[in-house]
Structure formats: C-alpha cells, structure tokens
C-alpha cells in the first residue's frame, strides 16, 4: 500500500475498533524459542497490550454499537450542514446530547448556525445514532458509603 496524501483520511472510533478486532483475530501466537532455559519476550508484546487496552476502551464507548449503515446514514444527513470532515467525525464519535456539547465540537457555531439548526443537528444525532450510557457498576455502593459517612459525622458532633 502506498500513501499518496498524508493525513487525508479520517477514521471514526468505530472504524478503529473494527480494524483492531480484525488485527487481533489475525494474530498468530508468537513462537519465540527459549534460550538458556528462559523464554524470550515477544517483541510485539507492547503493541499487543496497547491494542488490547484500546479495544477495551472503545468497547465502552458509543463506537461499539455503531454499524457501517448507521454511519453512512448519519454522514448523509449531515451533508445539509456546512461542516468540515473533522467536525462530522467529532459529532460521530462524541454523540452530543445537547447544544451545549455541540458548541464544544463545532468551531464558531454561533456565527455559522442558528439555534434551530443546532437543535436539528442534536436531533439528527439522537435519531440516527441512538446510544444508552451503560450504568456505572458500584455507583449505588458508593452512594451508600457517602450516606453512612454523613451519619457518622452527625454522631461525632453530638
């Protein structure tokens, strides 16, 4: 493969996740011979650990549920807005839930888009890229600990 123009392609988090999963499936277990009774380390151990950590992170984001048809439909819907490739990619990866989040992703949004257009963009995100945040494990346990701490402080004051 030859790179014709550097930095001309943009990848979404979903595409990166799909690529890393394919690479992980295609990996052959290392066959590093042992020397002097000690097993040598695989020279790609660091790369593989970064790949695993990246996959684990991306599986906890909206990218894990995105499909190619959803991405194509989303990009098609955004064509009516004058957005850069990078801005479209940010909208795809971040999935803003409000116009406040949208303001952080689009440069000079107040000058470029009306309030109605901003609301419409958020509606497009909600309609074409639905995603429910996973509940944090142990969140209830943390709250119980906080309530218990308040009671202990009140007892000490008496």
**Which burial class, exposed, middle or buried, applies to 83 when counting CB atoms under 10 A from its CB (0-12, 13-18, 19+)?**
buried
Helices (H) and strands (E) in the chain, counts: 8, 0
Contact 60, 134 (CB under 8 A): yes
Give the chain's radius of gyration (CA, Å): 23
Give the pLDDT confidence of 11-21 residue by residue, as tens digits. Answer: 888 888 988 99
pLDDT band at 37 (very low <50, low <70, confident <90, very high): low
Give the pLDDT confidence of 58-75 residue by residue, as tens digits. Answer: 988 888 888 889 889 999
**Which burial class, exposed, middle or buried, applies to 77 when counting CB atoms under 10 A from its CB (0-12, 13-18, 19+)?**
middle
Q: Which helix (H) or strand (E) segment is 109 a member of?
A: helix 109-112
What pLDDT is attached to residue 137? 55
pLDDT (average), residues 81-110 = 90
Domains of the chain plus CATH, in order, are 12-23+47-66 (no CATH), 67-128 (1.20.1250.40)
**Which burial class, exposed, middle or buried, applies to 156 when counting CB atoms under 10 A from its CB (0-12, 13-18, 19+)?**
exposed
Rounded distance between C-alpha atoms, residue 40 and residue 35, angstroms:
7
């Amino acid at each position: 493969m030859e790179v014709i123009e550097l930095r001309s392609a943009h990848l979404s988090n979903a595409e990166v996740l799909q690529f890393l999963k394919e690479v992980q499936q295609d990996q052959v277990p290392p066959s590093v011979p042992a020397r002097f009774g000690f097993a040598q380390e695989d020279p790609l151990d660091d790369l593989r650990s970064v790949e695993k950590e990246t996959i684990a992170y991306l599986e906890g984001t909206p990218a894990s549920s995105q499909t190619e048809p959803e991405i194509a439909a989303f990009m098609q819907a955004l064509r009516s807005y004058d957005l850069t490739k990078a801005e479209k990619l940010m909208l795809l990866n971040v999935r803003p839930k409000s116009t406040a989040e949208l303001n952080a992703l689009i440069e000079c949004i107040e000058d470029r888009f009306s309030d109605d257009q901003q609301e419409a963009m958020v509606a497009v995100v909600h309609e074409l890229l639905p995603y429910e945040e996973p509940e944090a494990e142990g969140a209830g346990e943390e709250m119980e600990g906080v309530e218990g701490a308040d009671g202990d402080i009140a007892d000490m004051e008496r």
